[in-house]
Amino acid sequence: MPEIRQNEKISHRIEGPFFIIQLINPDNLNALEGEDYIYLGELLELADKNPDVYFTILQSSGRFFSSGADFKGIAKAQEDNGAKYASETSKWLSNFVARNVYVTDVFIKHSKVLVCCLNGPAIGLSAALVALCDIVYSMNDKVYLLYPFANLGLVTEGGTAISLPLKFGANTTYERLMFNKPFNYDIMTKSAFISKNFNMPSSNTEAFNAELLKELKGKVEGLYLPSCLGMKKLLKSNHIGSFNEINSMEVNESLKYWVDGEPLRRFSQLGSKQRKHRL
Ligand code: CO8
């Protein structure tokens, strides 16, 4: 495998045709800082370039898949007043736009089949990445996806202006986003977003990951795997143009909000537990 720097919150390994990426920071519910999202993107690129890899598997640990952007990382970015930034616009182009557009782009254009092992809830940008996966399996019915943009002074990101209406329907998407409500298990099953519920207890994520991987190994036996990549390419062609366009539109729209400062005020309230999401 080519060299890649290490990250203590994200591990990776290869097993046969599977490139397995695991979030391994359950103590803060697998929240990710900007640099972690970039690292995740770099791992996807590594999987993309490896000719022996056909499936990229996203696993997590603990009770949450990922609670999204780490509010400590956002606070760090806010305090980042080094001389290198000529203005607030310049600061947020670097700390938000460039990072967000990169990780979203890597997911949108990924050539291997993206499988998400959804062990628990996912929030924000992480939930956006889950919605960009090709196949999602759930550990049990406690899973949900929350896009708390209205509560945080943000707008859709990570391609969600397209992926959510596509996968859950336009009106359900409007209703959930406008009133900051989660896409719960019922919504996910009604829209066939989840392919299988493994019905395992929330305390047992490692067993879920292992069981699911075993099942996937069985499912790919005897298949001609280049056909899978050929089909992914064709299926992806349905929406790739729209995703590319929305990725740019979303970050440019969001930039105004970051420069104005409302998300910072709200993230700081979240960090000090003065603000909560309604679940
Ligand atoms: N960042 C940092 N720490 C977190 C986060 C987070 N996002 N989420 C949870 N934690 C920590 C908590 O602070 C807590 O730590 P400690 O035990 O030291 O107090 C621990 O994880 C457990 O969390 P809770 O006690 O709060 O657990 P609950 O079960 O009561 O609540 C929730 C779970 C509902 C997930 C709650 O923790 C929460 O609301 N977290 C924030 C979720 C959130 O809003 N994330 C941001 C989403 S927006 C987004 O991702 C887009 C941002 C774009 C910027 C991208 C830059 C590249």
**What pLDDT shows up at residue 76?**
82
Helix (H, G, I), strand (E, B) or coil at 115: strand
| Nearest-atom index, ligand 1, CA of 276 | 39
Q: Which two tokens stand for residue 102?
A: 């990169």
Is the pLDDT at 57 greater than 90? The verdict is: yes
- Strand ordering across the sheet containing 194-197: 10-15, 18-23, 55-59, 113-118, 135-138, 194-197
Is the pLDDT at 1 greater than 70? The verdict is: no
Burial of 13 (0-12, 13-18, 19+ CB in 10 A): exposed
**Whole-angstrom Cα distance, residue 134 to residue 193?**
9
**Whole-angstrom Cα distance, residue 249 to residue 195?**
31
Cα of 254 from ligand 1 centre, angstroms? 20
Cα of 273 from ligand 1 centre, angstroms? 10
**Whole-angstrom Cα distance, residue 169 to residue 79?**
39
**Whole-angstrom Cα distance, residue 279 to residue 263?**
20
- Domain spans, the chain: 10-203+225-272
Cα of 262 from ligand 1 centre, angstroms? 18
**What pLDDT shows up at residue 54?**
98
Question: 27, 28, 253: which to mutate for ligand 1, most atoms within 8 A of CB?
Answer: 28
Is the pLDDT at 103 greater than 70? The verdict is: yes
What value does the mean pLDDT take over residues 81-99? 88
Instruction: Report the share of the chain in percent with pLDDT over 90.
Output: 91
| Nearest-atom index, ligand 1, CA of 121 | 35
Is the pLDDT at 96 greater than 80? The verdict is: yes
Nearest-5° angle of CA 88, CA 72, CA 269?
Answer: 80
What value does the mean pLDDT take over residues 256-273? 94
Residues with CB under 6 A from ligand 1: 28-29, 31, 34, 37, 67-72, 96, 99-100, 123-125, 148, 152, 270, 277
Task: State the average pLDDT for the chain.
Answer: 96
**What pLDDT shows up at residue 84?**
81
Is the pLDDT at 81 greater than 80? The verdict is: no
Question: 25, 27, 28, 29: which to mutate for ligand 1, most atoms within 8 A of CB?
Answer: 29
Reported as a pLDDT band with limits 50, 70 and 90, residue 83 is: low
Reported as a pLDDT band with limits 50, 70 and 90, residue 79 is: confident
Asked if 115 and 130 count as a contact pair (C-beta separation under 8 A), the reply is no
Instruction: Cite the DSSP H helix spans in the chain.
Output: 34-49, 71-79, 88-92, 99-109, 124-131, 149-152, 160-168, 170-178, 185-190, 205-220, 225-236, 240-260, 262-271
CATH, domain 10-203+225-272, list 3.40.50.720, 3.90.226.10, 3.20.20.100, 3.40.50.10260? 3.90.226.10
Is the pLDDT at 2 greater than 70? The verdict is: no
Instruction: Cite the DSSP H helix spans in 50-194.
Output: 71-79, 88-92, 99-109, 124-131, 149-152, 160-168, 170-178, 185-190
What value does the mean pLDDT take over residues 165-177? 98
What value does the mean pLDDT take over residues 61-88? 87
Tell me whether residue 245 is one of the annotated catalytic residues: no
Reported as a pLDDT band with limits 50, 70 and 90, residue 141 is: very high
Asked if 96 and 258 count as a contact pair (C-beta separation under 8 A), the reply is yes
| Nearest-atom index, ligand 1, CA of 263 | 52
**Whole-angstrom Cα distance, residue 12 to residue 24?**
10
Cα of 28 from ligand 1 centre, angstroms? 7
Reported as a pLDDT band with limits 50, 70 and 90, residue 137 is: very high
Query: In degrees rounded to 5, what are phi and psi of residue 208?
Result: -60, -50
| Nearest-atom index, ligand 1, CA of 99 | 57
**What pLDDT shows up at residue 248?**
98
Q: Which of the following is catalytic: 8, 157, 211, 250?
A: 157
Is the pLDDT at 245 greater than 70? The verdict is: yes
Nearest-5° angle of CA 181, CA 173, CA 72?
Answer: 50
Is the pLDDT at 123 greater than 80? The verdict is: yes
**What pLDDT shows up at residue 205?**
98
**What pLDDT shows up at residue 11?**
97
